[in-house]
Amino acid sequence: MWQNRGMAQHEIIHRTTEFVKEESQNESSGHDWWHIYRVWRNALAICKHEKADEYIVQLAALLHDLDDWKFGGQGDETPQRARAWMESCGLDPQIMERVCEIIMHISYKGADVENKMRSIEGLIVQDADRLDAIGAIGIGRAFAYGGYSKRPIYDPETPPQYHASFEEYRNSRSATINHFYEKLLLLKDMMNTDSAKRIAAQRHEIMLRFLDQFMEEWEGRDAE
């Protein structure tokens, strides 16, 4: 174990970056290293406008997907892999608890499910993660995850659902286009910080234009 408190914060961030890069190799669901990188950079950019602990923000952004429920994590339960990594770094227990609290509550869990995030650091990282789920990159990631989880692109006979619980959302197998209506188009109004709200408004419009064009082509109206 490293010397607790003796290792500089920038060195821990560097080592965490290299660890997460290694852990996310060959990831094809849209949750790869470059997703984590974008969340990390966006979180830092938002943090400049908020009174928040940048160190906590960086650690949470870098580690936020290690225990994602979509890949075997347990949702609101303690993020075991992230905690084990921080313990191996000799981090202060209070810092570990703050980071774990963020990771536990960062994920979207359904349209009608309460957001349990409380710290400003958590709200910042949550915004950064949600920003990467919308706009042009969000469109690409949605279809990457749809292919990864073997979902159809679109099924007009299966309408979108507004999930009232995490269990409903987790067990949903609906088409990727439904995912826009069940989650992605809702995120603009769920942003926490003013910085994220401004960016989200622009990215939201990109998704609306895409969906309009998708339906034009699906119905063949653009060929008339």
Q: Which of 68-77, 82-91, 127-136, 148-157 has the lowest mean pLDDT?
A: 68-77
| Higher per-residue pLDDT: 125 or 220 | 125
Given its phi and psi angles, is residue 154 left (phi above 0), alpha (psi -120 to 50 degrees) or beta?
A: beta
Q: How many whole angstroms separate alpha carbon 8 and alpha carbon 24? A: 25
Asked whether 57 and 44 are in contact (CB, 8 A), the reply is yes
* Helices 120-131, 33-47: crossing angle, 10 deg rounding: 130
- In one-letter notation, the amino acid at residue 125 is V
Burial (Cβ within 10 Å: 0-12, 13-18, ≥19) of residue 177:
buried
Distances (CA, A) of 130 to 4, 19, 146: 33, 23, 17
Which pLDDT belongs to residue 81?
93
With a cut of 60, say whether residue 4 has pLDDT above it: no
pLDDT in tens, 194-224: 999 999 999 999 999 999 999 999 998 776 6
pLDDT in tens, 33-52: 999 999 999 999 999 999 89
Per-position b or e across 184-219, b if 16+ CB within 10 A of its CB: bbbbbebbbbebbeebbeebbeebeebbeeeeeeee
* Helices 194-219, 135-148: crossing angle, 10 deg rounding: 60
Say which residues have a Cβ less than 8 Å from residue 159's Cβ, sequence separation at least 6.
178
Q: What's 9-223's CATH class?
A: mainly alpha
Ranges of each domain in the chain: 9-223
Which pLDDT belongs to residue 221?
78
Main-chain dihedrals φ then ψ at residue 113, nearest 5 degrees: -95, 130
* Closest to 172 measured CA to CA, from 74, 75, 70: 70
* Closest to 142 measured CA to CA, from 179, 188, 109: 179
What pTM, to 2 d.p., does this model score? 0.90
